[in-house]
Amino acid sequence: MYQGRRIWRRLNKNTEWMQGEVTAELFLEKTQRMISPFGAGIEVIYDFRFTSRTPFKIGGEFDPYRVKRPISIIVHLNPSNLINFTPNRKKRFLFLLNQTLQHEMMHKYQFTKRGENRFYAKVVNFVRCSSKTRIRTLEYFANMDEIDAYAHDLAMEIKFHYPDKNPQIILNNISKYNQLAVWKTYKKAFQGARWVHIREELLRKTNTWLPTIKDFS
């Protein structure tokens, strides 16, 4: 199942176009070519709130009912902007694309491996809050499939942002490391709730994934 190195090599192939100012049209065309071998397609949400400072946002979705390209990479961008690719922005874009693609490929694998039970995933217990909207959000993050996929995301972030740091030190003091977006997301989502079992499972799964994540050179 695990294709991390293959994906990273593919995404870093023929990236000469990713420098200087690039139109939204060229950006979408080239990105689609990069992800096509993995059964993924580009979906675009045009949003004029995005600026040249923050030109795009990347999300993803796995649709088990879609036969062709069941994985969607959802790109939010302002169509009127040129995307100025600096070396740092290029590196970050490739990482986020890699991370999102692997996250959705994990969901595809989780879905197919369960057979007849593929529509069921365990939810880890947490102390619920009163808001129905927030409960739905917390149940999403407490879903074991999501914990596993987000733990993989977190392991990738640790290796990407802190390549020279001992991962065990980071896991033991994780709140001190401010570039770990997944940890921030979980911490914010469960603020005020008792989520000790989810926290433990997320960190345990992250520790399991860490040895499989190679460097991003």
Question: pTM (2 decimals)?
Answer: 0.90
pLDDT at 11: 94
pLDDT tens digits along 9-52: 999 998 999 999 999 889 999 999 999 999 999 998 988 887 77
Mean pLDDT of 74-85: 86
Helix then strand count (H, E) for the chain reads: 8, 5
* 117: helix, strand or coil: helix
165 or 54, greater pLDDT: 165
What band does 133 get if pLDDT is binned at 50, 70 and 90?
Answer: low
Q: Which residues of 80-116 are buried (b: 16+ CB within 10 A; e: fewer)?
A: ebebebeeeeeeebbbbbbbbbbbbbbbbbbbeeeee
What band does 139 get if pLDDT is binned at 50, 70 and 90?
Answer: confident
What band does 116 get if pLDDT is binned at 50, 70 and 90?
Answer: low
Share of the chain above pLDDT 90, in %: 61
